[in-house]
Amino acid sequence: MTGEKRTKKYLESFRHEVKLMKKMDHPNVIEFYEALEDKQYLYLSMELCKGGELFKKVENGKMSEHRAAKILYELCQGLKHIHDQDIAHCDLKPENFVFKDRGTDSPIKIIDFGMAKPVPPHVYLSVFAGTPYYTAPEILEGKYNSACDMWSMGVITFLMLYGFPPFHSSAHKEGSASTKEILRKVLDGFTPEVRAGYGAWFPRDIKVSAEARDLIAKLLTRDTAKRYTIDEMIAHPWFSKAKGYQEPVDPRVQQSLLEFRRSNKFHQIVLHSLMQHCDREDERILHEAFNSLDADHDGMVSFKELQDKLKGLRAEEIKKIFEDVDENGDGKLSMHELKLAFLQRKVLAKEERLWEAFSRLDLKNTMALTFEEVRDCLMQDRNARHLVTEKEIKEAFDEADVDSDGVVDYDEFLYMMGSKKVPPRVGTLPHRLYKESRRHFSELETKMTARKLNAQQQKKTQKS
């Protein structure tokens, strides 16, 4: 590469980094001020951070879980802001986390967007990015998205709690030989078991809580559909337990209830079809949460029982949650209904899970669902058979078939599922309908906000 081409490429990279940093506005992400240049140099002006890198804190050994949880929770908030902008950082590591000052309660910031890339829905990256110790296996395989950051967070959490990275080379290897060995181990994956020795597993000699190990395991899974999203990491109970308090109900289930929204019939039918695919870990989480909610152990959760556990919410908010989750309207919440709420949040969180849900219905692998496929999948769920009739399934299917061609394709499926994170693909009829519905919803939200502000102003006027 000639000097001129190298300079041009460097300038493009610099402008790209500046463009992404301008989108950031969060207390746990470095603040960008301006970019300057003269005949010789380019300059980035950012907020001053004097507290040093997180790397300096961990190179002397492992942290307490209390301290690690505080730092990681702040980093999660910053990373959530980045992911909410449809951006993958692609180079998360302790060297790219800096403290604002030297105080013990100093906020921590995510820095260095040199490898960051926009990753809108349905888009996968292929160019290598990252640092070997923290690189996700899918990056090495040449097809990745923002889930690569969650793998890196798993490695960083492991490093902070155990004092060494899970993927490392032999002491006698250096340079390219060391890098190759690390990357080979990354591709081999992480084994979430407690074992003797030190490697890509939980070493028996170092005591770490079961909750912390569970979080690390959820992040260091090769299956990106199963790997935790940033929202799921934030909701993991390890954070509250490490800080010394116990949530009345598992935060993951609480968040599912808070986010649950009664949707169209096809959406509900898809969730019912997935009930039998709920894995053992999800079943355990749900049963523990249900038992905690069901104070009188009668096998159902009443409004009062839910209200007693969700003390931070107003009565009208809890009432809305209860009515939305109470699918059959009997005034009580069953285990089946709690599972529906949990599954909705989980499935809508990332495209890999939505694709899995679509594929499970697509029995003939035609990339288009027929009424018979949807009906047959749903009828396998014992509870669903009592809740919907074949006529109702047909009506829901016809509603989902927005172009009336007799099948429901992937984009129609996404439109009916209504995930904000994974809309239908651009240029399709479902995408146009989705954009229209979002525009209408935005206008409705604006009107509702204006009404609330007006009502508040009237109350103030009346008091004065």
Give 10-residue mean pLDDT values along the chain (464 residues): 72 87 96 87 91 87 90 97 96 96 93 94 92 96 96 97 91 75 95 94 95 97 96 94 82 91 87 84 93 95 93 88 92 94 93 93 93 88 73 93 94 91 86 74 57 63 62
Residue 91 annotated among the catalytic residues of the structure: yes
Q: Give the pLDDT score at 456.
A: 61
Residues 347 and 411 grouped into a single domain: yes
Q: Which residues contact 220 (CB under 8 A, 6 or more apart)?
A: 151, 154, 155, 158, 166, 189, 190, 192
Distance CA 403, CA 135 (A): 42
Q: Is there a domain that residue 375 lies in?
A: yes
Residues 184 and 82 grouped into a single domain: yes
Residues 166 and 295 grouped into a single domain: no
Q: Give the pLDDT score at 19.
A: 93
How many other CB atoms sit within 10 Å of the CB of residue 156?
A: 26
What CATH number does residue 260 fall under? 1.10.238.10
Distance CA 91, CA 95 (A): 10
Q: Is there a domain that residue 136 lies in?
A: yes
Q: Give the pLDDT score at 328.
A: 86
List, in sequence order, every residue forming a beta bridge with 118; answer none if it has no partner.
87
Of the candidates 203, 223, 242, which is a domain's last residue? 242
Q: Give the pLDDT score at 104.
A: 87
Q: Is there a domain that residue 13 lies in?
A: no
Residues 161/109, Cβ–Cβ less than 8 Å: no
Catalytic residue among 91, 149, 250, 409: 91
Q: Is there a domain that residue 87 lies in?
A: yes
Of the candidates 242, 269, 285, which is a domain's last residue? 242
The number of residues making up the chain comes to 464
Residues 275 and 408 grouped into a single domain: yes
Residues 64 and 105 grouped into a single domain: yes
Q: Is there a domain that residue 386 lies in?
A: yes
Q: Which residues contact 144 (CB under 8 A, 6 or more apart)?
A: 88, 124, 125, 126, 136, 138
Q: Is there a domain that residue 358 lies in?
A: yes
Q: Which of 278, 277, 265 is nearest to 417 (CA)?
A: 265
Range of the domain at 270: 251-417
Distance CA 382, CA 108 (A): 50
- Domains identified in the chain, total number: 3
Residues 230 and 98 grouped into a single domain: yes
Residues 153 and 196 grouped into a single domain: yes
Residues 285 and 337 grouped into a single domain: yes
Of the candidates 214, 242, 270, which is a domain's last residue? 242
Q: Give the pLDDT score at 246.
A: 74
The amino acid at 329: G
Q: Which structure tokens are listed for 288? A: 């523990």
Residues 136 and 265 grouped into a single domain: no
| 290 three-class SS | helix
Q: Is there a domain that residue 369 lies in?
A: yes
Residues 442 and 304 grouped into a single domain: no
Residues 100 and 216 grouped into a single domain: yes
Residues 76/48, Cβ–Cβ less than 8 Å: no
Structure-token match 């009828």, residue found: 379
Backbone Cα Rg of the chain: 25
Structure-token match 């640092």, residue found: 131
Residues 233 and 368 grouped into a single domain: no
Residues 216/69, Cβ–Cβ less than 8 Å: no
Q: Give the pLDDT score at 136.
A: 97
Q: Is there a domain that residue 405 lies in?
A: yes
